[in-house]
Amino acid sequence: MQSDFKKILSQSIAFWTFRILSLVVMGILFSILGFIFVKGIGVVNWDFITQMPEDGMTKGGIYPAIIGTLCLIAGSMLFAFPIGVMSGIYIFEYTKDSWYRKFVQLMTANLAGVPSIVFGLFGMALFVNKLGFGDSILSGSLTLGLLALPVVIRTTEEALKAIDNSYREASYALGASKLQTIKRVTLPMALPNIITGLILSIGRVSGETAPILFTVAAYFLPKLPTSVFDQVMALPYHLYVISTSGTNIAESRGMAYGTAVILILIVLILNIIANIIRRFLTKKYKTN
Amino acid sequence: MYKIESKNVNLHYGSFHALKGINMAIEKNTVTALIGPSGCGKSTFLRLFNRMNDLIDGVKIEGSCIIDGKEIYSKSIKIDELRKRVGMVFQKPNPFPKTIFENVAYGLRVNGITHKNYIEERVEICLKQAALWDEVKDKLKKSAMALSGGQQQRLCIARALAIEPSVLLMDEPASALDPISTAKIEELIYQLKELYTIIIVTHNMQQAGRVSDSTAFFYLGELVEFDTTKKIFTNPTDVRTQNYITGRFG
């Protein structure tokens, strides 16, 4: 009787601890979102997202920064996605389970742990100066792409690992080569999960400031880029600028929150789109 | 001439001696059942004949495996070509997440066949051979994943038949299926032996008794006894075979 009571008590204490802690985590997320939205939603309107900044960035919109961030997301994905997926395929499908694979995996993990400012410095040294791309969308996208690579590689590996080996064997047993098997069976099956990795890396890339600081971001540039060698404004950097080193920080406070709202919305919308694509791919073969 | 022969085959996974000096000769157009407790080497033995064991790290194979008089482990054999002649059906139904049609056409496509009419013809023939045609002829463009487990397994058999093999390896093809689907697969095996030489691994003693002409009993990597199914099940020579058949271990 006594021990039964103790058992039930300790169980409910543990259960409630876990439940409260998870509620705290959700609470933190919602407070951040709520705080930003309450403070920022007031300035968000059609002009805000379609007009150039004016009056020392205290008025007008953030149109060029939105376009800049979208360019950088697209550019970095264009770079990180194929390279990351191919590396992931190589690591999982081509290297044997040996010290070499472990070494490559360790290095990928280390790459993920490199501080983003270091990526920024590296990008400036290599892309901006050495390769002569200058401060440009190209340099910024490549730098952000490097940052996104580990996530894409890792999720590709995991997605391939999740596929039952008997599908590969069935393909080989029909005389298919390894490449044919990857192209026709394993990669299409892994794609929905790989897209999850893409979602995660878009979230990371779109919010980074340090890697674009020395490679692409412009302080104030009220026009749209015309080529990949142009500089652009970008939302996270714009947010930083008008919060810390603008012409009138107090005046542009509302703009800063508005910028944060737009940044969050962009990430949210891209996540939703990627999720729809993922569901479509998963469902495509399961039904009809 | 025997269709399939193994001569003194030894196989090691690292330091584990999985097959110990196996000698076996299999006649054309027969069904051979491989039985024995889990881990006895019967699946490993089956996978010798389409060189599936090659995919596993640290496997070492000695001895001789011969199909149609040719050594299949010789350097001059192309593995892709071998696998076209030796089809395989796996334990779990594993159709690709493609349409029913594309599943059967897969083997043709990866082997470079593009002729549309020929592919359509082969798909129909193989689905008929696998006794699935009537159930799926109106939904060839639908996903194979929507089929039942038993239908999926027959689809996998059709898929294996598409590239016109002469040998069919089946690794416990009915172990994941319900009794009615199992009966269909067994019926199918019986019909297919007119055209193919079949080796089937099974855990189900009654199944071995029903479908096979010869039975091989494996135990701890050894081929204990290989004889006609009738002899193995009524009057086995080795006491271990007798104990296994009568359910004293396994």
Sheet holding B222-228, edge to edge: B86-89, B167-171, B197-201, B31-35, B214-219, B222-228
Long-range contacts of A124-129 (CB under 8 A, 24+ apart): A124/A214, A124/A215, A127/A215, A128/A214, A128/A215
User: Closest partner residue to B83 among A97, A175, A185, by Cβ?
Assistant: A175
**Which helix (H) or strand (E) covers residue A225, if one does?**
none
Residues in B touching A171 (Cβ below 8 Å): 96, 106, 110
What percent of chain B clears pLDDT 70, i.e. is strictly above it? 99
| CATH number of the domain encompassing residue A128 | 1.10.3720.10
For A173, the closest chain B residue by CA position comes to: B83
Q: Are residues A15 and A150 in the same domain?
A: no
What percent of chain A clears pLDDT 90, i.e. is strictly above it? 58
User: Closest partner residue to B83 among A173, A184, A285, by Cβ?
Assistant: A173
Q: Are residues A8 and A121 in the same domain?
A: no
Q: Are residues A100 and A143 in the same domain?
A: yes
Question: Which residue, among A239, A233, A283, has the nearest Cα to A36 in the 3D structure?
Answer: A239
Inter-chain contact B110–A184, Cβ cutoff 8 Å? yes
Inter-chain contact A288–B146, Cβ cutoff 8 Å? yes
Residues in B touching A287 (Cβ below 8 Å): 143, 146
Number of structural domains found in chain A: 2
Residues in B touching A288 (Cβ below 8 Å): 142-143, 146
- Enter the tokens of residue B197: 């030489």
User: Closest partner residue to B110 among A169, A174, A284, by Cβ?
Assistant: A174
Q: Are residues A15 and A155 in the same domain?
A: no
pLDDT band for A262, please (50, 70, 90 cuts). very high
User: pLDDT below 70 — which residues of chain B?
Assistant: 249-250
Q: Which residues of A33-42 are buried (b: 16+ CB within 10 A; e: fewer)?
A: eeebbebbee
Domain, as residue range, for A63? 46-287
pLDDT in tens, A51-96: 888 777 777 888 999 999 999 999 999 999 999 999 999 999 998 8
* pTM summary value: 0.83
pLDDT at residue A288, as a whole number: 40
Residues in A touching B156 (Cβ below 8 Å): 170
Inter-chain contact B145–A285, Cβ cutoff 8 Å? yes
Q: What is the spatial distance between Cα A11 and Cα A160, in angstroms, rounded to a whole number? A: 38
Q: Are residues A186 and A261 in the same domain?
A: yes
B247: closest CA of chain A, how far (Å): 30
ipTM metric: 0.91
pLDDT in tens, B35-52: 999 889 999 999 999 999
Residues in A touching B83 (Cβ below 8 Å): 172-175
A285: closest CA of chain B, how far (Å): 5
Q: What is the spatial distance between Cα B107 and Cα B84, in angstroms, rounded to a whole number? A: 8
Inter-chain contact B84–A166, Cβ cutoff 8 Å? no
Residues in A touching B100 (Cβ below 8 Å): none
pLDDT in tens, A202-256: 888 888 999 999 999 888 888 888 888 999 999 999 999 888 876 777 778 888 9
Q: Are residues A266 and A186 in the same domain?
A: yes
Residue-by-residue DSSP string for B56-119: STTEEEEEEEEETTEETTSTT--HHHHHHHEEEE-SS----SSBHHHHHHHHHHHTT---HHHH
Beta-strand runs (E) in chain B: 4-13, 16-26, 31-35, 59-67, 70-71, 86-89, 167-171, 197-201, 214-219, 222-228
Q: Which of B110, B139, B141 to mutate to test the interface with A (most CBs of A within 10 A)?
A: B110
pLDDT at residue A49, as a whole number: 87
Q: Are residues A279 and A166 in the same domain?
A: yes
pLDDT at residue A69, as a whole number: 93
Q: Which of A174, A179, A281 to mutate to test the interface with B (most CBs of B within 10 A)?
A: A174
- Enter the tokens of residue B156: 């996998």
Q: Check: CB of residue B113 under 8 Å from CB of residue B121.
A: no
Q: Are residues A31 and A55 in the same domain?
A: no
For A288, the closest chain B residue by CA position comes to: B142
Q: Are residues A140 and A8 in the same domain?
A: no
Q: Which residues pair with B22 in a beta bridge?
A: B9
Q: What is the spatial distance between Cα A156 and Cα A86, in angstroms, rounded to a whole number? A: 9
Inter-chain contact A175–B98, Cβ cutoff 8 Å? no
B13 touches chain A (CB under 8 A): no
pLDDT at residue A287, as a whole number: 46
Per 3-state DSSP, chain B is made up of helix, strand and coil in percentages (nearest 5) of: 40, 25, 35
Q: What is the spatial distance between Cα A183 and Cα A172, in angstroms, rounded to a whole number? A: 13
Inter-chain contact B52–A173, Cβ cutoff 8 Å? yes
Q: Are residues A27 and A57 in the same domain?
A: no
User: Closest partner residue to B143 among A166, A180, A285, by Cβ?
Assistant: A285
Q: Are residues A283 and A173 in the same domain?
A: yes
According to DSSP, residue A125 is labeled I
Inter-chain contact A171–B106, Cβ cutoff 8 Å? yes
Q: Are residues A187 and A80 in the same domain?
A: yes
For A165, the closest chain B residue by CA position comes to: B94
Burial of A205 (0-12, 13-18, 19+ CB in 10 A): buried
Q: Is the dihedral of CA B242, B244, B247, B248 positive or negative?
A: positive
pLDDT band for A47, please (50, 70, 90 cuts). confident
Residues in B touching A169 (Cβ below 8 Å): 52, 55, 88, 90
Cβ-proximal residues to B121 (8 Å cutoff; 6+ apart), any chain = none
Question: Which residue, among B31, B53, B93, has the nearest Cα to B229 in the 3D structure?
Answer: B31
Only one residue has tokens 């540039």, namely A221
In this prediction, residues A137-147 reach a mean pLDDT of 94
Q: How far is CA B89 from the centre of its chain?
A: 6
